[in-house]
Chain A
Amino acid sequence: MKDQVSLYNKIFIGGLTILASYALLQFHNYMDGYEVAILISSVFAFSWLGFSWRNFKSYFSTIFLLAFLSIFLYQGNLLIVEENFLLKYFLSSQSAIMWMSALYPLSLIIYWFHLFNSQDFSGKLASSLVWIATTLGTAGLLIRWYESYLINIDVGHIPISNLYEVFVLFCIITALIYLYYEERIGTKKLGAFILIIINIAVGFLLWYSFAKGAHEIQPLVPALQSYWMKIHVPANFIGYGAFAIAAMVSVAYLIVDKGWLTKYLPEKDVLDDLTYRAIAIGFIFFTIATILGAVWAAEAWGGYWSWDPKETWALIVWLNYAAWLHLRLIKGLRGNILAWWSIIGLFITAFCFLGVNLFLSGLHSYGEL
C-alpha cells in the first residue's frame, strides 16, 4: 500500500516536471524571467499539494488529460467546435464550465439529502459530483486559456482577467478548500452549507454569461499584461474562498447553537475550529495577495498604494479579519459573536470582490458589469 502511494507520487511529480520542462523548452521565447520562475515554483507547489493530498493528484492529472484532449481535438482551429461532438458538448471551455454549473447545484441537493439521511452512499456521491464539477471547471479554464490563443496569438492570456473568469475561479477554489477540509475532518455534512455559496456564484455566473455575453474572450488592457496577475489574482481568490467557507461554517455553527439540526451537524467545537482555520488560511493568502497587489500597482501605476477603491476595500477586509483574529487569539473570544462576525465579514469581502466593481469606479479596470 505504502509503495503504491509513493509510486503514484513519483509518477505525479515526474509528470508535472516533464510537463513543465516541455512548456519551458517549447515556449520559453514567449516568457519573461518571472514567468519562468512562476512556472517552476508552481511545479513545487502542486507537487507538494499532490504529495500531501491524494485526491488532488487524481484531480490535477485529470484536468490536464482533459485539457490535452481538448487541445488535440481543436487542432488549432477554433471553428472546429461546431463540427466536433465532443468539443461542442463537453470539451470546449464554455461547455465544460456549463457542466460545472450544472453539477454544483446537483451536488448541493444531494448534500442536503445526505445531511438528513446520513447514508454513506449519498455523501460519497455528493463529494464525487463536486470533484467532477471542479475538475470540469478547472479544465474549462485551462481550455479557455488555450482558446484565447487560438483567437489570436496576441489576445491569448491566462483566464483570470474578467468577472466571468474569476467567478469560475472562485467556485473551483472554494470547492477545493472545502473538499480538503471534508477529508481532514471526516464529515460530509458541511457540504450542504458550503455548496450554497458556490451555487450563488454559479447563479451569478450563468446570469452574467447569458444576459451580458460575458463569456466572450476579450483582449487584455495594457495594465493587466503582467506576470503579477498570475499570482496576485489566485492568491486573492484563495482568500475569498476561505473567507466564504468560514462564513458558511459559521452559519452552521449558529444553527447548532440554536439547538437545531444538532443530530446531524458536527459539534460546535469542530465548527468553531474549522472557522478559525479557514479564516487563518484566508488571512495569510489575502495578506500576501494584497502585498503583491501593491507591488504590482507600484509597477503598473507608479505607486504601491493609490487608495483606489479596490485597494481600500482590500484593506478594510484585511483589517476586519485582523480584528477577528485578535479577538479570538488574544481575548480568547469564542462562539456566537465571532460566528456572526465572520458572516458579516463575508459581506464585506463580497463588496470588495463585486461591489467595488459594481458601484465604485477606479483603476482596477477588469470586470465592469
Chain B
Amino acid sequence: MSSMRFAITMLSFVGIASIIGTILKQKQPYESYIIKFGQFWFDIFRQLDLFNVYQAIWFLIILVFLIASTSLCVIRNSPSILREYKKFQDQIREKSLRSFKHCYEISVPSFNKLDLISLLEKNNFKVREKKNNSSDLLIIAKKGSFQKLGYIFTHLAIIIISVGGILDGNLMLKTQELLGIKQIQLLDLPLSEIPSKSRLDLNNFSYRANVLLSEGEKQDVGVIPSKDGYLIQELPFSVGLKDFNIEHYSSGQPKSFESDLILTSKLTGKIKEQKISVNKPVTFEGVTIYQSDFQDGGTKLNIVTTDLRTNNKSQPMKAEVFKSNSLIYMNQSFSFEFEDFRLFNILDIDSSQKKNSKNVGPNFTYKIRNESGQANEYQTYQLPMKLEGRYFFVSGMRETPQEDYKFLKMPADAERGLDGFLIFKNLLLDKETIKRAINQVISTSSSSKSVNSGNLELSTLRLFKTFQQGGYNDVALSIDKNIPIQEQESAANAYIKIIHLVTNQVLLDYQKNNTSTKFFEREDLSLFTQDALNAYSDSFFYGTPLFLELKDFEHVQASGLQLTKSPGKFWVYLGSILLVIGIFCMIYVQEVRLWVLKKKNSKNILLTLTTNRHHLTFDKYANDIKNKINSFSKKG
C-alpha cells in the first residue's frame, strides 16, 4: 500500500472522479437530473452518488487510502532520510571515489588544509575532516541536504492538508446519517415544526450553513442544504440584519453588497456590530460570516390589473413578494403568486454584435394560477424598453420553467406611458367608435367609386368583430374558411390594411377631441397603431387577459449570508506552507556531496563531487568548483 504504484492509482481515481464532478453539474435539484437523464440513468447515477461526487462515501474512502499510503511512505522513508541528512559519508574508499563521473586529480604544490576548508565553506558546504588510519587526509563536505527533507515536507504536507480537508468535510454528518441519528429534512416546514433529527446542535464542529435575512430581521439558526433537502444548524449567536446596501456601477452592474450585522452571543450576551461585504467576512464565536448573495426580502408592490381584452375598469392591487393574492374576476377565482422583484436588470437587448448590456430597470415575477390549479409564469418590466428604436412595455409569459419567456410588447405612448395603449384597446373594443371610424374611412377613400358602401361597412364591422374576439389569428382562420385559396393572400393584406386604417383613424379622432392629452401626438402614429394592433392580437397568447402594471414599489432586500465553521482550515493552510517549502527544497535545492582525499605523500589531491539528481547544470557546477580549488592551490 505504500508503493508508489498504489498511490498513483489512487491519485488517478481522484483525478477521474474530479473530472466527472466537473462535467456533471453537482448538487442540482433532483428533478433537473431526471429531466436530463431519464429515470433509469438518474437512479444509477444517484446510487453512485455522482450528483455529489466530492462528498460520496467512495470518494472519502479513496482519500483515506491516499492518506494512509502517503503516511506509510513517509514513515518508512523518513528514518533513513533523516539519517542521511545528518550523515557525512566518511567510509569511502579511494577506488569508489575514482569511479564517480566528476572526479578530478589536481596537483597542489602548496596545500593548506584550512584554506581549503574555508574555500568550501564559502561555497556553502558543510565540512568535516577525517583522518584515515593511514593518516591520509579525507575532507568530506556536503551541501543542499535540505533537498532530502523536502521529501518529508511535501508528503507530510499532503497528509496534513487531506486531514484538514476531511475535518471540514461532512464525514461526521454522513456517519450520523447512516446510523440514523440524523435525517435530512425533505419537506418545507416552518422552523418550529422541524424535528430534532434534522437539527444539528452547537457540538457540530464543522459546517457551512446559509442564512437569509430581510432588513430588520433576526435569526439564530442556519440552513445546511443537503442532497434534495436540508438540515437546520443551531448557531452560537443570533444574527440580525440592520441594513443592506447594494452599490451599482453607473452601467447597473452590482459593485458591492454590504450588510450591517448585529451579532449577539447566546452564551455571553456579548453584542457586536459589524459591516461585512464580499471579500470582507467577520469571525464571531468561532464562526465566520460571509456575504454570499442577496435576494428580494418581500418588496411591496403597487399594481394595477387591467383586462387586455375587455373594456372593464382597471383595478388597483397591493402585493408583496413571496405572498399571494387571490381575486375573483368574471366569476373565476385566480391566485397571484408573487415570486421575485429585481431592481436592476442588465439586458443585452441591442441585437447588434457588440456587447451592449444596459440596465432596463425593475421587473417582477409572478404566477397566475387558475381554479384548476394550472399556472403560467410571468415576468413584467416596469419601464418601457427601447426595441428597434421604439419604446415598449414588455411582459414575458411561459407555461413551464423549462421554456423561454414569450414576450408581449405593448407600445408606449408619446408620454412613454401605457395609458395610450389602454385607451387604444378600449376604443378598439368600442363598437360605436369603430363604426364611426369605418364610415369615415369609407367616405374619404371610396367616395368616387360605385361600391356599395353599406355592404362594405357591414363586412368591415364583421372583420372587426373577428379581430376583437381573436386577433389576427382568428382573422386568418376566417379567411381560411371563407375565401378561395388563390385569393387568400390578397384578402389578408387588404384586411390588415383596413384594420390599420380604421384604428389609426380612431386614434386621430381621439387626439382631435381630447386636446388635453398628448398620448397620440406623434409623427409615427401609424407605427404606434401597428404595434398596438400586434400587441392586442398577441394578448390572446398571453395566458390570461390580465396584465399587471407595476406602478410603484417599496424595495425590501434580503441578504444571503454564509456561516462556516472550519477547524480544518488551519491545518490546510499549515500543510500548504509546508508543501511550498517542501517543493522548493526538492526542486531548487541540489544536494551535492564532495570529497577531497590527500594521500600523505602525494602532491596531488583527489576531488570528487556527486549529486543524487543529475541535471545538466551539474557538469558546469562541478567544473567551477574544480577550477576554484585549482586556482586557489596554485596561488597559495
Contact = CB atoms under 8 A, between A and B. Distances in A.
A287 B583 contact: yes
A44 to B, nearest CB: 17
Contact of A316 (B15, B353, B569, B615): B15
A180 interface: no
Contact of A300 (B25, B208, B278): B278
29 contacts: A154-B249, A211-B353, A213-B354, A214-B355, A222-B277, A280-B588, A284-B584, A284-B587, A284-B588, A291-B580, A294-B576, A299-B281, A300-B278, A300-B279, A302-B292, A302-B562, A303-B168, A303-B564, A304-B566, A307-B54, A309-B22, A312-B19, A312-B21, A316-B19, A319-B14, A319-B15, A326-B8, A329-B586, A329-B613
A213 B4 CA distance: 49
A145 interface: no
B579 to A, nearest CB: 7
A284 B255 contact: no
A312 B586 CA distance: 25
Interface residues of B, number: 55
A283 B587 contact: yes
A222 B293 CA distance: 10
Contacts of A211: 353
B569 A298 contact: yes
Nearest to B572: A304
B254 interface: yes
Interface string A106-128: 00000000000000000000000
B18 interface: yes
A222 B254 contact: yes
A284 B256 contact: no
A64 interface: no
A38 B373 CA distance: 60
A273 B249 contact: no
B239 to A, nearest CB: 14
B164 to A, nearest CB: 9
Contacts of B251: 219
Interface of A: 152, 154-155, 211-214, 216, 218-219, 221-223, 225-226, 228, 269-270, 273, 276-277, 280, 283-284, 287-288, 291, 294-295, 298-305, 307, 309, 312-313, 315-316, 319-320, 322-323, 325-326, 329-330, 356, 360-362
Nearest to B356: A213
Given A213-B354, A276-B615, A326-B4, A222 B23 contact: no
Contacts of B290: 300-302
B165 interface: yes
Contacts of A223: 278-279
Question: Which of B249, B251, B579 gathers most chain A CB within 10 Å?
Answer: B249
B344 interface: no
Contacts of B25: 361
B205 interface: no
B22 A269 contact: no
A319 B53 CA distance: 18
A299 B281 CA distance: 7
Contacts of A213: 353-355
Contact of A302 (B255, B564, B615): B564
A283 B583 contact: yes
A110 B569 CA distance: 51
B580 A284 contact: yes
Contacts of B226: none
Contacts of B6: none
B477 interface: no
Contacts of B279: 222-223, 225-226, 228, 299-300
Contact of A356 (B22, B254, B572, B586): B22
A106 B573 CA distance: 46
- Interface of A: prevailing SS: helix
Given A287-B580, A312-B22, A273 B256 contact: no
B61 interface: no
Closest 10 CB pairs of A and B: A302-B290, A222-B278, A302-B562, A213-B354, A273-B616, A309-B22, A291-B576, A226-B279, A219-B249, A307-B54
A277 to B, nearest CB: 8
Contacts of B353: 211, 213
Contacts of A222: 254-257, 277-279
B11 interface: yes
Contacts of A277: 615
Given A213-B355, A284-B587, A302-B564, A291 B579 contact: yes
B256 A225 contact: yes
Contacts of B354: 213
Given A212-B355, A213-B353, A222-B279, A270 B583 contact: no
Interface in B274-320: 277-281, 288, 290, 292
A34 B251 CA distance: 29
Question: Which of B4, B208, B288, B587 gathers most chain A CB within 10 Å?
Answer: B587
A259 to B, nearest CB: 22
Contacts of A361: 25
Contacts of B4: 326, 330
Contacts of B26: 307
A280 B587 contact: yes
A23 B434 CA distance: 74
Contacts of B569: 298, 304
A51 B280 CA distance: 37
Given A302-B290, A361-B25, 13 more contacts: A213-B353, A213-B354, A219-B249, A219-B255, A222-B254, A223-B278, A226-B279, A269-B616, A284-B580, A291-B580, A294-B576, A303-B566, A316-B15
Contacts of A283: 583, 587
B253 A219 contact: yes
A287 B579 contact: yes
B485 to A, nearest CB: 46
A361 B22 CA distance: 9
A325 B154 CA distance: 13
Contacts of B256: 222, 225
A221 B14 contact: no
B99 interface: no
